[in-house]
Amino acid sequence: MTMASYCLALALFLIFATSCMATPFKTQKLAVYNMEGMAQCALGHNVFELADYGCWCGPGGSGTPIDGVDNCCMHHDKCYDAAVDDGDCRNVMEEYLDPDDWSCSNHTIVCKETTDKCKAALCNCDRNVVMCWSKFPKVTSHKGCTKSKRIW
């Protein structure tokens, strides 16, 4: 099993395990689950089908996005990168382990005010990608990237 496959399988398992035990829209989860909860809030469906969609959705990312949904994922990846590069977050792992502080109200994602720059930046990244996805029809078929994805 490649490292990319292992990371994807682990992430999907953790999301599945938590979703089985969690209360809907509980907002204090590991950061890796924030986007899924936000998608449930705003879109009304999960985004598991995007775990390995296109060139940018899921772990890693490179190349030209294959469509608008993949373009949203590219901007999300770059948003997370900027949070580290700008010094809001200390490292890449913090992006995936530090829970955002947000709420769901009438299918609207609200990032709560915080003095933690990393939480604020990541919450905005996650909210923005979900709002971007909302501009497109729900993905019903898997589209892969035409070339290999870069991992990390």
Query: Is 60 part of any known ligand binding site?
Result: yes
Longest pairwise C-alpha distance within the chain = 42
Q: Which of 52, 70, 76, 98 is catalytic?
A: 76
* In the chain, alpha helices (H): 3-21, 31-43, 68-85, 92-97, 117-133
Query: Is 44 part of any known ligand binding site?
Result: no
Q: Which of 52, 70, 100, 126 is catalytic?
A: 126
Residue 126: active-site member: yes
Residue 98: active-site member: no
Separation in Å, CA 71 to CA 86, 117, 139: 22, 25, 13
Query: Is 77 part of any known ligand binding site?
Result: yes
CA angle 4, 94, 80 (to 5 degrees): 70
Catalytic positions are 76, 126
User: Which residues does the annotation place in the binding site for Ca(2+)?
Assistant: 58, 60, 77
User: Which residues does the annotation place in the binding site?
Assistant: 58, 60, 77
